[in-house]
Structure 1
Amino acid sequence: MPLPPFLSSLPDPALWWGPLFTLSEWAIRLTMLVYVPQRRAPAAARTWLLLVFFLPWLGLLLYALFGRIYYPKSRSLKLARINRGIEQLRTRISHELPQGPLPDALCQAGAGLIERVGSFAPMRGNTVTLMDRYDEVVAAMVADIDAAAQSVHILMYIYAADATGRTITDAVLRAARRGVRCSVLLDALGARGGLKAYTDELRHAGVQVVPALPVQSLSAVLKGKSARFDLRNHRKIVVLDGRVGYIGSQNIVDAESMPGLPNEELVARVTGPAVSQLQAVFLADRYLETSDRDLGAADFPPLAPDGPSIAQMLPSGPGYGTQNAQMVLVSMIHNAMRRVVITTPYFVPDESFLQALHVACYRGVEVHLVLSQRIDQRFTQSAQEAYFGVLLEFGVQIHLYRAAFLHAKHVTIDDTVAMVGSTNMDIRSFALNAEAALVIYDREVVKKMVRIQQRYLADSDTVVREKWAARPLRTRTWQNLCRLADSLL
């Protein structure tokens, strides 16, 4: 059938399509060259511009989805209200608990910064028990849930439909049937297996089940009405009766969730006034999802001193407007005098974190980085390995743990500061995920964490600078290519 006259008069598409496409690509490149660097770190801007210049249309689409940390205004306003409530709670608590100076200048500087960027003040009178045996953590949680009389609150990134998930779910069901108020807040993406398997059963027993950061439609994300789907709630917190708390790296999932690569974790069991801060983080996250302000008497019971440790919560995430966990760690590394030991499964640092490690080594501080020899994300592993050369040049000692997938996330600074929680030492944890860590100012707790770290070192291979420099060119090239995407990880 012949074309209509007005179409037949147009030039052959083969003649104008190519130039038009080329023109559109250059329009994208030039526009993004102006737009991307605005309010972005130089390294992140370089990563995105490199992608856009090589693949303009694909880069534009990916940037629309992942390039900016879309955090809805409604959630920001809620978080501001939460922080005002925490300030009021802190004022009340300060009159009820013993006060006094922190052990040294490092602790004082760190605690002051955390209070300014994370809202929580250091609290005296806590007992912090470090637990590094997977099954013991599960057993202790079940025992404490079974002992709960008022409330059970669980916030998890991964909650799997496996034996461990079944064990914890059964304990929560038993508590609900005793009349205990139970709330389970689970990341909608990370815990999708557990949500699908257990939600109906838990809700039928009267348990409140709340998916955190549910994935919205693409149009809602692009319009800025929903958080990006890769902004996740990565926290792991359990609070029982407002008196016993757990915080650390361990999810509710079998240790052998990856065949041949068992997880090894570190969790802190806490009693004392600092549990109120864990509780506040849980209730704040629940409020962000549900606007639920319903608090029972068990949520914040009288806060009596229960031990020798000073502890302080450090929540972080895109809603805080700054990378506060990264800021605190960089500050503490700069203030370290003797020794820094960092344990993390994922290490993809930004320039300021690298510089802090560099300066620490030049000042004579002993810096150790403990990583897993095998991890569950090959691309990320190659990206972090690209940093080994420069770290070894600085004088950082890198240890690769052989025995398991070392998923634990903790830090010791000198002899006085320990940090344990869900925060990885990578750009994703610092900028995108909602994380939580407990900072402890107690020499005895630090000694216990150092003993755990020494066990890691005894079962690790130390990376030798000369051997690392001799790795094949193809390996080095692949690692450096992966590193180019560090801001996307």
Structure 2
Amino acid sequence: MPPSLSPLSSLPALLSPTVPAVWLAALPDAVAAGLSSGWPWLFTLAEWLIRLAMLVYVPQRRAPAAARTWLLLIFFLPWLGLLLYALFGRIYYPKSRRLKLARINQGIERVRGPLERFAPAQPLPAGVSADAAGLIERLGSYWPMRGNAVELMDSYGTVVARMIADIDGAARQVHLLVYIYAADATARAFTDALLRAAARGVQCRLLVDALGARAGWRAYADELRRGGVEVVQALPMRSLSAVLKGKSARFDLRNHRKILVVDGRIGYIGSQNVIDAESMPGLPNEELVARVTGPVVTQLQAVFLADRYLETGETANGGFIAENFPPPQATGAHTAQMLPSGPGYGTQNAQMALVSMIHRARERVVITTPYFVPDEAFLQALQLACYRGVAVHLVLSQRIDQRFTQAAQEAYFGALLDAGVQIHLYQPAFLHAKHVTIDDEVAMVGSTNMDIRSFALNAEAALVIYDRAVVARMREIQERYFCHSVQVERAAWQRRPLRRRTWQNLCRLADSLL
């Protein structure tokens, strides 16, 4: 279609049995003669067959929003839309990985036996906590355990220093899983710490996402391997033919988790990658990470080992065996459990758990996320909470690293403000932290963004804590966010220019692709 024509104005030309002369002039004589003789009918017929077939196929077992996005693309660009849908339209997970996941669940059950004594001594409070714990166990196979100590850290430099110090103190084993492993000063410091540990005889394993950590992979993989560190890529990028033949997962299915486990006794989980805080000039990252000790570290270890097994297929010395799970000891009074999620589960674990908790909230919900592109169920849960009288706060960064995504998330502000959601735009830095509190009972911290991509496409991990003291500490951090944020006012938001409103709504149409 010539760029100067709109879809409607060009429709007669597309349906015409002849091709416009201006197009024919640009083609070789033989091709032009063939087109003028009758090929346009075949081409037009093929396009409409694509549209009609996909109109039936796309909505099957798919959310209306996602179906709408794909059908719009296919209607206006049938051939390109068909190709993109073949690559990204369905959350295809290879059979080999599904079989491995089934074996992983069996391994988790074998580990569970020695940990039964850490079941909560008393039932969790009825309502949010009890319902969430049971649902998360059914979705992700991990159960709540008492006896943990959870320390929340919101200083970037402190987190890096504590992680490296714990790696330097490792006696047996270091397991590190991250989405981004950069080629900068922070990554150099982690690389040196892993090499020092390996030189002491510590078993070190580094698992990085093939896309997010490509810079660090090129810079450090060979050096780490020479130093005795195992380095593995998660979800390596395969050829186009492998994807189309179903032998590889989709390109955009990524492992977005951030987990460090030292000696099976110390764990870190949160939003922080291995990258400099100032990786984006003028837009420093601000994170939240939980340092954990106690029985729940066993679950962080299990998540790491499961991801490693998915990539290597190896079980000896790296699977669910006693050597990787030292006898746990109680170190505190906090009850916690892991919430893993990803396309391999067949359910959107994080989305379902969060929606359920928001529906059960009675007083207050605070959500902090860098990216907010919710599906309909999540958006409606927030609206209904407000209508029930729950105070709902959404903390976003005023500036983010993805302008298209920022415009898409802003398209939801009107509906949220109308319902009574208080939206806070954090100003000092790029707030990359991802955490939630529900009432005074539940805190959640991890790698999960509140968007369709994290809910459906990425492998994510979060720690859910059922403890008023931890919630109180997280609230202190949230109050600091409020103090350094500008709150979006409903009246002012409604007066934004039409061109901005139009751009936001157009970006929102691609919510299922972001």
Superposition TM-score tier, normalisation by shorter sequence: over 0.9
CA contact (8 A) 1:150 1:298 kept: no
Which residue, 456, 466, 474 being the options, matches 1:441? 466
Amino acid at match of 1:432: L
1:418 alignment partner in structure 2? 443
C-alpha separation in 1, matches of 2:429 and 2:499: 27
> Letter of the aligned partner of 1:369 in structure 2?
L
Secondary structure in 2 aligned to 1:419? strand
Out of 395, 416, 422, the position equivalent to 1:397 is 422
1:344-359 alignment to 2 at 5 Å? 344-359=369-384
After the TM superposition, which residues 49-448 of structure 1 pair with which residues of structure 2 at under 5 Å, given as runs?
A: 49-95=71-117, 99-293=121-315, 294-295=317-318, 299-448=324-473
Q: Distance in 2 between matches of 1:315 and 1:98?
A: 20
Structure 1 339/98 Cα, relative in aligned 2: closer, same or farther at 3 Å? closer
With over 3 angstroms needed to count, the CA separation of the structure-2 counterparts of 1:170 and 1:12, relative to structure 1, is closer
Contact 2:369–2:396, Cα closer than 8 Å, also in 1: yes
Letter of the 1:368 partner, please give it: H
Deviation of 1:93 (Å)? 1.2
The alpha carbon displacement at 1:205 in A equals 1.1
| 3-state SS of paired residue (1:154) | strand
The runs of 5 or more residues in structure 2 that have no matched partner are 1-28
Alignment CA distance shift 1:456-1:354 (3 Å): same
Aligned to 1:21: 43
Whole-Å Cα distance in 1 between the matches of residues 465 and 343 of structure 2? 24
Q: C-alpha deviations, 1:130-153, integer Å up to 9, x for none?
A: 000000000000100000000000
1:414 deviates by: 0.2
Query: Following the alignment from structure 1 to structure 2, what is the Cα–Cα distance between the partners of residues 229 and 163?
Result: 29
Q: Return the letter of the residue paired with 2:281.
A: P
Structure 1 portions without partners, runs of 5+: 1-6
What fraction of aligned residue pairs are identical, expressed as a percent?
74
Contact 1:160 1:193 in 2 (8 A): yes
- Counterparts of 2:40 and 2:120, CA distance in 1: 74
1:477 aligned counterpart, secondary structure: helix
Which AA in structure 2 matches 1:44? A
- CA shift, 1:383, in A, is 0.2
Distance verdict in 2 for CA 1:262–1:298, change over 3 Å: farther
Cα distance change on mapping 1:303 and 1:20 into 2, 3 Å? same
Deviations 1:76-119 (A, max 9, x none): 11011101211222233104666331134211100000000000
Aligned twin of 1:477:
502
Which letter does structure 2 place at the counterpart of 1:382?
A: A
Mapped partners of 1:467, 1:452: distance in 2 = 27
Give 2:510's aligned amino acid.
A
Superposition deviation, residue 326 in structure 1: 0.1
Give the count of matched residue pairs: 482
8 Å contact 1:103–1:441 — kept in the other structure? no
Q: Which amino acid aligns with 1:466?
A: A
Work out whether residues 96 and 303 of structure 1, in 8 Å CA contact, stay in contact via their aligned partners in 2.
Answer: no
Residues 120 and 144 in structure 2, CA contact (< 8 A), matched pair in contact too: no
Per-residue CA deviations over 1:318-354 (Å, capped at 9, x if unaligned) read 0000101100000000000000000000000001001
Is 1:237–1:246's contact at 8 Å kept on the other side of the alignment? yes
Write the deviation string for residues 374-393 of structure 1: whole angstroms up to 9, x where unpaired: 00000000000000000000
Checking the alignment, whether the CA contact within 8 Å between 2:119 and 2:144 is kept in structure 1 is no
Q: TM-score, normalised by structure 1?
A: 0.97
Contact 1:242/1:298 (8 A) holds in 2: no
Matched to 1:144, the amino acid is: D
Between 22-31 and 470-479, report the one with greater CA deviation.
Answer: 22-31
> Given the two structures, how large is their TM-score scaled by the length of structure 2?
0.92
Match for 1:160: what amino acid? A
Contact 1:151 1:298 in 2 (8 A): no
Distance 1:77 1:227 in 2: 14
- Separation in structure 1 between the aligned mates of residue 327 and residue 375 of structure 2, nearest angstrom: 42
Q: Which residue in 2 is equivalent to 1:3? A: none
Change (3 A) 1:172 1:11: closer
Mean Cα deviation higher: 204-213 or 85-94: 85-94
**Whole-Å Cα distance in 1 between the matches of residues 99 and 124 of structure 2?**
33
Distance in 1 (alpha carbons) for counterparts of 2:102 and 2:114:
19
Q: Is the 8 A contact 1:70 1:221 kept in 2?
A: no
Structure 1 residue 164: Cα displacement: 0.1
CA, structure 1 residues 138+184, in 2 after alignment: closer, same or farther (shift >3 Å)?
same
1:229-249 Cα deviation digits (max 9, x unpaired): 110000000000000000000
Q: CA deviation at 1:20?
A: 2.1
Asked if 2 retains the 8 angstrom alpha-carbon contact of 1:340 and 1:414, the reply is yes
Q: Output one character per residue of 1:442-481: Cα deviation in whole Å (capped at 9) or x when no partner.
A: 1000000000000000000000001000000000000000
Preserved contact between residue 176 and residue 206 of structure 1 (Cα < 8 Å): yes
Mapped to 2, the partners of 1:202 and 1:297 lie a distance apart of 26
